[in-house]
């Protein structure tokens, strides 16, 4: 059985084709992620709602609703395995996600629209869930931070990840503006319990908050993560997000036989 080690802007995953097989996904997630230090595990399954089904697990074996960077990677996996065409639909726990192949290593996905978007869940800290139920994200502006500040910021991020304001726990996304359309984003992820090099749904959540606040009038956000740059496009009317697109790399690092 093949297992692909894949990366979406530094956010890395172990990926298998689970169709027609009785696999213990949670246990596989823990074992395979330990092998490479990957952030998460994904398996393709059959679906009667999309081209295929995505099962997503964090590295600790906990199940996740969806993953933006993971979705781009699973779209490449499915395309190259002949499971789905260049334009595809993916069933996830958070709803249907649509994906498009733009090039060998470049993919775009349509993230789930916010099922919850609270600009003031805890003071000025926003809360977003993409999908229903959705991936939970706390959105925290930290003006002027740099990558060199990440260890100093970690205690605050870790405390917020478990804060009662976020009943499901939350990924905590720290951001600062670099210019009118560019932000630096640092995400502390539940299930990984540490920073990851990028978070696609996190960047989508940051973009949703900024657009809703009127701080992203053009609707296109460039999000610089430690592992790479992602682009988020927000569409909507009347302050309500109607379409959320995430574009970025989907790379194959190594293929293992397991």
Among all residues, which ones are annotated catalytic?
Answer: 67, 199
235 upstream amide cis, omega within 30 of 0: no
Quote the CA–CA distance of 75 and 83 in Å, as a whole number: 9
**E-assigned strand segments in the chain:** 2-8, 11-17, 40-45, 52-58, 87-92, 95-101, 106-111, 114-122, 125-131, 134-141, 171-179, 182-189, 194-196, 220-225, 228-237, 240-249, 251-257
CB 22 within 8 A of CB 34: no
């Amino acid at each position: 059985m093949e297992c692909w080690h894949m990366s979406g802007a530094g956010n890395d995953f172990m990926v298998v084709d689970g169709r027609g097989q009785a696999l213990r996904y949670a246990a596989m997630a823990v074992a395979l992620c330990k092998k490479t230090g990957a952030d998460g595990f994904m398996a393709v399954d059959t679906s009667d709602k999309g081209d295929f089904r995505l099962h997503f697990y964090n590295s600790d074996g906990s199940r996740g609703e969806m993953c933006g960077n993971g979705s781009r990677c699973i779209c490449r996996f499915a395309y190259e395995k002949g499971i789905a065409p260049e334009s595809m639909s993916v069933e996830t726990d958070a709803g249907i996600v649509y994906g498009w192949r733009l090039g060998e290593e470049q993919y775009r996905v349509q993230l789930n629209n916010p099922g919850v978007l609270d600009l003031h869940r805890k003071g000025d800290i926003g809360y977003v869930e993409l999908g229903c139920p959705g991936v939970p994200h706390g959105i925290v502006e930290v003006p002027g931070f740099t990558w060199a500040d990440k260890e100093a910021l970690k205690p605050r991020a870790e405390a917020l990840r478990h804060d009662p304001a976020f009943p499901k726990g939350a990924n905590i996304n720290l951001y600062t503006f670099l210019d009118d359309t560019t932000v630096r984003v640092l995400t502390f992820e539940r299930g990984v319990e540490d920073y990851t090099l990028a978070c696609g749904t996190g960047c989508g959540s940051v973009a949703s908050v900024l657009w809703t606040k009127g701080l992203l009038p053009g609707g296109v956000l460039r999000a610089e993560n430690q592992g790479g740059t992602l682009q988020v496009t927000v569409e909507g009317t009347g302050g309500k997000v109607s379409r959320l697109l995430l574009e970025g790399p989907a790379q194959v690092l190594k293929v293992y036989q397991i």
